[in-house]
Amino acid sequence: MYDLTLAPTGPIRLEPGQRYWCAAPTRAEAETLLDLAAGLVQLNYPGRVAVLESNGGLLSNLRVWENLILPAWYQKIAPLPELEARFVTALQRLGIGDTEVERIATALPVTLERDRKRMLLLVRAAILRPGLMLLDQDMWGHCARSALLRPVLDELSANAAVLVIGQGAPEQAWGLHDLTLTPETT
């Protein structure tokens, strides 16, 4: 169970295996809310939170492999050989062969397409094995529409609480509980 205080009304409880939607009035405010939520949960539950954002998320001066293990490595979640095994397993789960795994691992993020980058963010979450996942609206929509990514997100969210932060109502409801964090409460 994860407590998150975004509104003056007190903390909200996020249960593993449940999905929540948090609406902000504008896109800019949704981004700010995501910053706030990420800052709070990363402080309280270090190494147990994955943030999946549709734009960016990968550091341009690190190779993909270094990017994907970075949060888990920094938080000392597992030794490097274990992280490598998780990396390969997660990519194979997404139907990527050994040769392609090697190519992706050594590539720089700038050489990858946007959809491939989004897929890799999900791989990064799979390496981390989080208890709480924060997604922005676009990333959620992308995963919900993708036949490849949706089962992986389903698997990850079976043991993790999922909080989607966006503007207005979700494009793909997909079993979301509305947190009713509307402008009145935020």
Partner 1 sequence: MRLAQLFAPITTPLAGLRHQPVRRVLLRQIYFTGNEAVFLVLAIGFALGAIVISLLHGQYGQSRDASLRLLASLSFKEISPLLAAIILVARSSSAVASELATMQVHGEIRSLFRMGIPPGTYLIMPRVLGMTIACVGLTLYIALMSQAGGTLFSAGTDVTYEILAIDRIMRIDLMLTCLGKAFVFGLGCSLTACYVGLRVGPYVTDIPKASSRAVMRGLFVIFLIETAWTLCTI
Show contacts with partner 1 in window 22-61 (CB under 8 A).
34-35, 38-39, 42-43, 46-47, 49, 51, 53, 55-61
The CB-of-80 to partner 1 minimum distance in angstroms stands at 8
The answer to the question of residue 16 lying near partner 1 (CB under 8 A) is no
Q: State the binding string over 99-138 for partner 1 (x if CB under 8 A, else -).
A: -----------------------------------x----
The CB-of-62 to partner 1 minimum distance in angstroms stands at 9
Please tell me the distance from the alpha carbon of residue 49 to that of residue 161, in angstroms, as a whole number.
10
The answer to the question of residue 71 lying near partner 1 (CB under 8 A) is yes
Rank residues 16 and 57 by Cβ distance to partner 1 and give the closer one: 57
> Could you tell me the strand order of the sheet in which 19-24 lies?
49-52, 132-136, 161-167, 19-24, 177-178
Residue 58 tokens read as 């990968």
In degrees rounded to 5, what are phi and psi of residue 137? -55, -45
How many residues of this chain bind partner 1 (CB under 8 A)?
Answer: 25
Contacts of 181 by beta carbon, 8 Å cutoff, 6+ apart: 6, 7, 12, 22, 23, 24, 33
